[in-house]
Structure 1
Amino acid sequence: MTYCVAIKVDDGLVFAGDTRTSAGVDDVRTYNKLHVIELEDRVFVLLSAGNLATTQAVVANIRRDLDAPVATMSLRLARYMFDAAEYVGSISVRAQHQIASQAQFSNADLRTTFILGGQIRGEEPAIYLVYPEGNCISSSPETPFLQIGESKYGKPILDRVIRPEVQLEDAARCALVSLDSTMRSNISVGPPIDLAILPTDSLKITHKQRFDLDTPFYARLRESWGHQLVAAFRNLPKFDWEAPAEQGSLLKEPNQQAANG
């Protein structure tokens, strides 16, 4: 499984995803699920979740069309982000059919879901969720983020924090916390984590970084988030029947818990 998220705020776009691909409990591998395509007047980021063979076929076909001397459609020729999302959907459907025809007796699930985000000069940045069937939807001001894969564990923090007016770096931190929450609850999602930031009208990725569990910034972020969650829980309103002495001992500090075993 996997988990990827794309966030749209007024200042730009944030993309994040894990890299774990598993074919079983004893076959865990790492593959890139965040793909960046930068051209003269546009930039695209593709996030993927689903069958790895289909994903690789889609990415390969997209890059091949970019270099084709004669092409009826490509990311280079798309006039709008919606056109680009529909193009990715059509490539995905074709790849699924081709792979299925080569393995007629296989029961493998060949579906792949994508998030395509980016900006074409003259148009606002946008993110689209591209379904395995080829159709797509965009984000909205009410829900300015899109998720694919194991999305349920990382959604609550996004629902509470992400608004169009949120600063780009805060959106990036929220994406990393969303991934951390998912990894704590589902072993099929795992590090390293890829992060990419696209400011509005920059037409290029200004920051792209991979974080492992021991990457200093990411380690500090995870530790700080965990401590502050515990502190917030300790400050929740107390029941009417709780005695004053009990109110101060609802939760011990993490280091005290460790000391007491």
Structure 2
Amino acid sequence: MTYAVAIRLKRGLVFAADTRTNAGIDNISQYRKLQVWRKPGERVLVLMSSGNLAVTQSVISMLNEALDDNDPGTPNLFNAANMYRAARVVGDAIRAERRIDGEALEASSLGFNNQFILGGQIKGEGPRLFQIYPEGNFIEAAVDTPFLQIGEHKYGKPILDRVARSDMRLGEAAKLILLSFDSTLRSNLSVGMPIDLVVCEADVLDVAREIRIGPEDEYFRKLSGAWSEALRQAFTTIEEFEV
């Protein structure tokens, strides 16, 4: 399975996705589930995926093939006028893949249940963030709910609900996302390291930082330990229930 989360901020966007895939308890491997397309100074786009790996790889291949098409009339991620149009391009690729493999998948136990998060910025508008469903339609992150999640999101959602704000600093948002991952990794074996993390600063129109965080990463280990200790301290200071 997968866990992926992104936050849209006034200062930019932060994305993170794990790399674990499994087809049973004895068939676990790693694949990158976060893709970046960029034209520095013009646009930067990040796509994260969850669900059947063959489906997501096919969708990404379609998106890349469209970029190589010499026909200027072919919609693609580099000629989309804005992020809404870029989300439409991804949605169309998902629907095309569904026409090819959807019937066979629906006839099996797998189903066609892939989801995507697309975010980025195109010159002339601010950073935007979309969650794209298996049907190809989508929703956009808003000020009241600045984060979007796909995959095994239930364990990492409570801290995002309590803390996430659109006026956070980029470093704060990255810390929050990694704490969300820490909770998920502790509770769900289908999500695993390493974690791919990308930070895009508003109006830079490029990736500000891209890093892969493994189990030996010093910052993540300190973060996890400090969070566990803070939770224990908070628990001991709360008044006990009267019995």
Query: What are the Cα deviations for residues 100-129 of structure 1, in whole angstroms up to 9, with x where unaligned?
Result: 467796443233100000000011100000
Structure 1 residue ranges without an equivalent (≥5): 242-261
TM-fit CA distance, 1:198: 0.4
Q: Secondary structure at the match of 2:37?
A: strand
TM-fit CA distance, 1:39: 1.6
Structure 2 residue 8 is matched with structure 1 residue 8: yes
Q: 1:138 to 1:103 in 2, by over 3 A?
A: closer
Name the % identity. 44
1:100 and 1:234 mapped to 2: Cα distance?
A: 52
Residue 78 (structure 1) aligns with: 80
* Contact residue 197 and residue 206 of structure 1 kept, 8 A: yes
* Contact residue 54 and residue 111 of structure 1 kept, 8 A: no
Query: What are the Cα deviations for residues 149-173 of structure 1, in whole angstroms up to 9, with x where unaligned?
Result: 1111101111111111111100001
TM-fit CA distance, 1:134: 0.5
Residue number among 179, 182, 185 corresponding to 1:183 in the alignment: 185
Residue 62 (structure 2) aligns with: 61
Residue number among 141, 148, 158 corresponding to 1:139 in the alignment: 141
Structure 2 residue 5 is matched with structure 1 residue 17: no
Deviates more, 1:105-114 or 1:58-67: 105-114
Deviates more, 1:211-220 or 1:232-241: 232-241
Give, as a single letter, the amino acid of the residue that structure 2 aligns with 1:34: L
1:104 and 1:80 mapped to 2: Cα distance?
A: 33
TM-fit CA distance, 1:26: 0.7
TM-fit CA distance, 1:216: 1.2
Q: TM-score, normalised by structure 1?
A: 0.88
Q: 1:109 to 1:240 in 2, by over 3 A?
A: closer
* Contact residue 5 and residue 16 of structure 1 kept, 8 A: yes
TM-fit CA distance, 1:219: 1.1
* Contact residue 198 and residue 206 of structure 1 kept, 8 A: yes
Residue 32 (structure 1) aligns with: 32
Residue number among 98, 113, 116 corresponding to 1:114 in the alignment: 116
Give, as a single letter, the amino acid of the residue that structure 2 aligns with 1:230: R
Q: Secondary structure at the match of 1:92?
A: helix
Residue 45 (structure 1) aligns with: 46
- Equivalenced residues, count: 241
Residue 216 (structure 2) aligns with: 214
Q: Secondary structure at the match of 1:62?
A: helix
Give, as a single letter, the amino acid of the residue that structure 1 aligns with 2:235: F
* Contact residue 194 and residue 208 of structure 1 kept, 8 A: yes
* Contact residue 45 and residue 118 of structure 1 kept, 8 A: yes
* Contact residue 12 and residue 200 of structure 1 kept, 8 A: yes
Give, as a single letter, the amino acid of the residue that structure 2 aligns with 1:72: T
* Contact residue 130 and residue 141 of structure 2 kept, 8 A: yes
